[in-house]
Amino acid sequence: MPSKQQLPAIDRPTVALGLEGSANKLGVGIIRHFARRKAGPRPPAEILANIRHTYITPPGEGFLPRDTAKHHRTFVVKLVKDALKTSGLTPDDIDCVCFTQGPGMGAPLQSVAIAARTISMMWDKPLVGVNHCVGHIEMGREITGANNPVVLYVSGGNTQVIAYSHQRYRIFGETLDMAVGNCLDRFARTLQISNDPSPGYNIELLAKKGKHYVELPYTVKGMDVSMSGILAYIDGVANDISSGNPRYAEDGEIITKEDLCFSLQETIFAMLVEITERAMAHVGSQQVLIVGGVGCNQRLQDMMAIMARDRAGAVYATDERFCIDNGIMIAHAGLLAYETGFRTSLDDSVCTQRFRTDEVLIAWRDD
């Protein structure tokens, strides 16, 4: 990434507007940080507004970049106005404008970056570009109070196991092909499951009704995982069933789509638990923080909790307000950077689809 402006650190109450639009969720958030005490941790942040609007496509369809970008352009002004009204603030109260600089889908990212630049110039406020992944991590830490956890970041576009060291979020393991959320979303299309409110959530509901486990490929390679073979296999089973060629469980009952959703979740979540436990052992941590949209899944949280309890550890997770892509996480991470003197110039405010988590200097942490 290009070099960024660095100014003296700030030690007073600050307020940020955050814009998120890396995929099909458009989010606008406003957050306030209070001045850090001379001794002890920073007081908890105050969430003033957290507004979101989702681009939803018909069952069996994904969301195309150009259509998603059009959605963001259509709704971004309304969401900014709604966030200001909810917070009770005016543009004069805002210290900086934060936006997702990457990673994500190119056209939606560009739409939100243009909106952020425009607001920055209209309001005469500095810009702060934010790494989407770091936004998830910092919001999770803020909400849950997790101190220095191993982070499992699972979403539609990312699957990473992360731990902090020397002002970087280091990636210990990740997917070798597609993200876990993308795997779930694509299987939802195969089954023609509704995308409202999200395909992954609807798969979770169907999985709760599943009774039979269908053995699927289990692909863990060291600290990394692979989803493509699992998806290809279970797609084949689903297509056989829909074509009138049923599969049978050991008790003779016909395998249903609910059984397939249950089996897919159990398999890929077990893989994620395995590599997360390995990272915990490596860094000596007893905390796991689950972030990203798939982190809302209760079954994933339950399976991770079983593992953590066996290690005398604990699992931290948030609800859908903060797990699913949102503007408040961008405002929060951006404000943390802003308070250290970080700024993004207009020339450097280009977005990028590939922006690694470990590229970001975490200057606000010195532990």
Cα separation, 46 vs 36, whole angstroms: 14
Residue 367 lies in a domain: no
Q: Which tens digits make up the pLDDT trace of 312-346?
A: 999 999 999 999 999 999 999 999 999 999 999 99
- What is the chain's mean pLDDT, rounded? 95
Residue recorded with tokens 């249903």: 256
Lowest mean pLDDT among 11-15, 27-31, 222-226: 11-15
- Asked if residue 184 and residue 163 are part of one domain, the reply reads yes
6 has a pLDDT exceeding 80 = no
Residues making up the annotated binding site for a divalent metal cation are 132, 136, 153, 325
Residue 366 lies in a domain: no
**Band of the pLDDT at 8, cuts 50, 70, 90?**
low
Q: What is the pLDDT of residue 42?
A: 80
**Band of the pLDDT at 36, cuts 50, 70, 90?**
confident
- Six token digits for residue 285: 């941590």
Which CATH number does the domain housing residue 67 bear? 3.30.420.40
- Asked if residue 161 and residue 283 are part of one domain, the reply reads yes
Residues making up the annotated binding site for substrate are 153-157, 185, 200, 204, 297
- Asked if residue 115 and residue 86 are part of one domain, the reply reads yes
Q: Which tens digits make up the pLDDT trace of 169-210?
A: 999 999 999 999 999 999 999 999 999 999 999 999 999 999
- The stretch 113-130 carries a mean pLDDT of 98
Domain limits for position 80: 3-140+323-359
229 has a pLDDT exceeding 50 = yes
- Asked if residue 315 and residue 166 are part of one domain, the reply reads yes
User: How many folded domains does the chain comprise?
Assistant: 2
- Asked if residue 332 and residue 233 are part of one domain, the reply reads no
Residues making up the annotated binding site are 132, 136, 153-157, 185, 200, 204, 297, 325
Widest pairwise Cα distance in the chain? 70
Residue 16 lies in a domain: yes
- Six token digits for residue 168: 């970087």
Cα separation, 6 vs 19, whole angstroms: 21
Residue 364 lies in a domain: no
Q: What is the pLDDT of residue 2?
A: 41
- Asked if residue 204 and residue 64 are part of one domain, the reply reads no
What CA–CA distances, in Å, run from 153 to 8, 17, 171, 349?
Answer: 32, 24, 10, 25
- The stretch 100-127 carries a mean pLDDT of 98
The pTM assigned to this predicted structure is: 0.95
- Asked if residue 35 and residue 176 are part of one domain, the reply reads no
- Asked if residue 306 and residue 167 are part of one domain, the reply reads yes
114 has a pLDDT exceeding 50 = yes
- Asked if residue 297 and residue 213 are part of one domain, the reply reads yes
Cα separation, 282 vs 260, whole angstroms: 34
103 has a pLDDT exceeding 50 = yes
Query: Any residues with CB less than 8 A from the CB of 160 and at least 6 apart, and which?
Result: 133, 151, 152, 153, 171, 173, 174, 175, 357
> How many percent of the chain have pLDDT more than 70?
96
12 has a pLDDT exceeding 90 = no
